[in-house]
Amino acid sequence: MAFEIKPLDNNNPLGQNNPNPMPSTKVELATRLFSDGAISVEEASHITGHHPQQLKQHFESKGIIPKRRILVCGGAGFMGSYFIKYMLGKHPHVHIVNYDKLSYAGNLNNLKNVEQDERYVFVRGDITDKEYLEKTIKRFGIDYIVNFAAESHVDRSIKSASEFIKSNIGGVHSILELSTEHNIPYIQISTDEVFGEIENGKFTEEHPFRPNNPYSASKAGGDLICRAYSVTHKTPVIVTHSCNVVGPFQFPEKLIPGFIIRLLNNQKVTVHGDGRNIREWIYVEDHSRAVEFIMEHGMPGKVYNIGTGHEKSNMEITELLLEKLQKDRTFLDYVPQRKGNDWRYALDTTALSELGWQPKFGFDQSISETVNWYINNEWWWRPILTGEHEKKLQQPYHSAYRED
């Protein structure tokens, strides 16, 4: 027998003020079956006719689904902020503490649509500050950690590597110490760049590390410490290696947002060498979906590659952006090849796909979504270009949760 699934109404508890309420016996039956582990939320939805998220809220109120309190380190950055919004939007029982030091790429404007959500809290802090990180974990009863916090721009690492070593190795060590001590599951978000370059084939999770610039070397160092803690201390840590991520709210020092913004301002874009270096790309929502999936299905001590198979050369990317923004090749500025610029990255994602995860976004859709967002959201990126964003970061941030 088929049941209609009612649209979600957060202001209408189950069966109240509903002109056609489902019999309470069906809700009671579904509640009992779900509590016994006999059915899923989706199956409960079919039994009762109520929206799955409405049922999740009901089950949480009954104590059947416990609240999950996730500490997202680096949650004011591009990938971390998207993950926060994605998880809060999908999971009513999820509460998130965003722990971010607000470096130059941290931007609380990324989170405007959730800053009033009672399930969301921002705490300004550095992952290298182990004492304050532990206070935050204890204060909010954290039961899961996802670390996006990292210095991540290759050119900056070439000019000065010290902050990369401090954050990407020292900061990871702080989290590992606390994950071990408090037995908190922890996902370390890393990069395919730790493997170096590959001319043919794809990197598996077992491929040796051969980083070729200070950024990727620092990420490799953090990943190896994760492995050591997993083996030595049985720390419940999982490491992910992702391909390049693209999407809204990405800081314009990165290739795609930087090119889009420059072209919107009728400025030339820089092509290193002949532009033939190849990267694999994933849309930021797919990356968030993958991390969510690994939280649910991943095994502690394992490493998972996150990729799509969408391999494109830098020149292909550039030409596609020229086309979408209706610019010609006179906007290209060829410069010498960058130091430590790997030829090609490509990931074998068999391990993750065998668990049941697949990307949803094709490459062209990912680029179109991204281009359209930057066209329509100058309010976000213009202050970064003018320096207003940098000035704002220098101002003290008075968090109600900071004990200064």
Q: β-strands 269-272, 278-283: how paired? A: unpaired
Question: Which candidate in 193, 223, 292, 342 is catalytic?
Answer: 193
Three-class DSSP category at 310: coil
Positions of E strands within 9-104: 68-73, 94-100
CB 358 within 8 A of CB 306: no
CA distances from 396 to 136, 241, 393 (A): 19, 34, 8
Q: How far apart are CA 159 and CA 356, in angstroms?
A: 41
Q: Of the listed 215, 229, 304, 374, which one is catalytic?
A: 215
Going from the C-alpha of 380 to that of each of 59, 110, 111, 283, the distances in angstroms are 38, 8, 11, 19
215 in active site: yes
**Distance between CA atoms of residues 326 and 90, nearest Å:** 36
CA–CA distance, 176 with 187 (Å, rounded to integer): 10
Q: Are 72 and 84 in contact (CB under 8 A)?
A: yes
Of the candidates 374, 383, 385, 386, which has an alpha carbon nearest to the alpha carbon of residue 264?
374
Residue 348 burial (CB count, 10 A): 17
Annotated catalytic residue: which of 100, 192, 285, 286?
Answer: 192
Q: Amino acid letter at 113?
A: N
Q: Residue 104 catalytic? A: no
Query: What are 73's strand-pairing partners?
Result: 99, 147
DSSP of 134-172: HHHHHHHT--EEEE------HHHHHH--HHHHIIIIIIH
Q: Would you call 345 a catalytic residue per the annotation?
A: no
CA dihedral 249, 84, 73, 304 (to 10 degrees): -90
- Would you name the residues annotated as active-site residues? 192-193, 215
